[in-house]
Amino acid sequence: MTQLVILPHDEFTLRLDNIRKALKSNNIDAAVISDNANIYYLTGRVFAGYIYIPAAGPEIFFVRRPVGLEGDGVVYIRKPEQMAESIGLNAPETLALELDITSWTDIQRLSAVFPESKIANASPVMRAVRSVKSPYEIERLRLSGQKQERVYRRVPHLFRPGMTDLELQVEIERVSRLEGCLGQFRISGDSMELYMGNILAGENADNPTPYDFAMGGEGLDPSLPVGCNGSVIRPGDSVMVDVNGNYTGYMTDMTRTFAMTQVDALAAKAHSCSIEICKAIAAAGTPGVHAKELYGLAEKMAREAGLEAYFMGHHQKAGFVGHGVGIEINEQPVLAPRSKDILAEGNVIAVEPKFVIPGVGAVGIENTYVVTASGMECITSAPEQIISFS
């Protein structure tokens, strides 16, 4: 038998307490959590089942799989209807379910287990609590950042003249995996898809995608239209490397730009502008700042540099310049024009001011930052200039 909760006790208590506070302040009496990312957040492991969290009272872990877990509040069930037996007469007046993530069919089934409860939405509660990382979580992220940095330092040595973008990506994937990258790229919701990362070489960067990523790419097949497309990397091309940083269950997000030869002046200027925008956002990003102001700052700097037409894409533009990151790649806060998010100490934010320069490709960098009282601290600290392959 194995303990179900594998988080350190204080960490587990802290996270649960934060959720209970958030439930109370939203007048919610209990939540049922079943999303893998949220279950991992609450326990330190993924299991199939449900966590029942009353705002006041002990939590219950309803487990379907795997066999062999134990601990306070662990109850094995085969189907969600069996939760009613354990909760019994204490049915909550208002019950929060993960309405933004769970399918309509599953919500109907779960609601029917609690026929007298009024259903509320647990998704905003979980997003808000998870957006503020604990020191323990920040350590996990720092570790991912360090490992990811080691991989990026090896990228120039993986390149061989004549390589396609795919061939380079495959070697980066290999090195990442051997460094301990778990591969899994967790995205909340099921509309975004990406395998391991995005290597964009040359003009492929201007191919638009259906996905809500900062950059595009045609992809290898119309069934997964994003990223590298098998084109040979040529002198003068920029090669943007934005590859999976999930080494610990927590992801950092880092982008660097490489090239065989010097890129043209416009691309070089845009790359420098990206570095400057990152610095400016890192300095301005203190607790209490509105996320949309940081987007505005980036957009203004790009405009003043005369780079507006290339900022966050050329044929197709992304609508944000940064996003929270942690267990999933699309967490809060979001640095976008209409974002309502306000920065808080402990937010972890990937900032990715990127440009697509016609005839050259994508340039710019991305770093992951921790919001501290005095500004944003970078935890992905590889060299930022355009890095030469040769």
Residues that bind a copy of itself (CB under 8 A): 6, 35-36, 40, 44-49, 64-68, 97, 99-105, 107, 121, 123, 166-167, 169-171, 173-174, 177-178, 180, 182-184, 186, 189-191, 193, 195-196, 207-212, 216, 220-225, 246, 248-249, 315-316, 327
Torsion of CA 325, 330, 336, 338, to 10 degrees: -130
Asked if residue 141 lies in contact with residue 348, where contact means CB atoms within 8 angstroms, the answer is yes
Residue 309 phi/psi, 5-degree rounding, is -65, -20
Q: Which of 194, 349 has the CB closer to a copy of itself? A: 194
State the first-to-last Cα distance of the chain, in angstroms, to the nearest integer.
53
Distance CA 31, CA 43 (A): 15
Q: Which of 180, 287 has the CB closer to a copy of itself? A: 180
Q: Which of 129, 196 has the CB closer to a copy of itself? A: 196
Q: Which of 212, 345 has the CB closer to a copy of itself? A: 212
**CA atoms 160, 165, 169, 172: torsion sign:** positive
Q: Which of 46, 84 has the CB closer to a copy of itself? A: 46
Distance CA 224, CA 115 (A): 41
Residue 297 per-residue DSSP state? H
Q: What is the secondary structure of 232-294 as a DSSP string?
A: BP-TT--EEEEE-EESSSSEE--EEEEESSPPPHHHHHHHHHHHHHHHHHHHH--TT-BHHHH
Q: State in angstroms the smallest separation of the CB of 88 from a copy of itself.
A: 26
Q: State in angstroms the smallest separation of the CB of 161 from a copy of itself.
A: 18
Q: What is the secondary structure of 165-198 as a DSSP string?
A: HHHHHHHHHHHHHHTT-------SSSS---SSEE
Which of 30, 39, 38, 19 has the alpha carbon at shortest distance from 88?
30
Distance CA 275, CA 376 (A): 14
Q: State in angstroms the smallest separation of the CB of 98 from a copy of itself.
A: 8
Q: Which of 15, 186 has the CB closer to a copy of itself? A: 186
Q: State in angstroms the smallest separation of the CB of 247 from a copy of itself.
A: 9
Q: State in angstroms the smallest separation of the CB of 281 from a copy of itself.
A: 25
- The two three-digit tokens of residue 1, written as one number: 């038998």
Q: State in angstroms the smallest separation of the CB of 388 from a copy of itself.
A: 25
Q: State in angstroms the smallest separation of the CB of 184 from a copy of itself.
A: 5
Q: State in angstroms the smallest separation of the CB of 293 from a copy of itself.
A: 24
Q: Which of 144, 282 has the CB closer to a copy of itself? A: 144
Q: Which of 3, 90 has the CB closer to a copy of itself? A: 3
For residue 223, what are the contacts with CB-CB under 8 A and spacing of at least 6?
none
Distance CA 318, CA 292 (A): 14
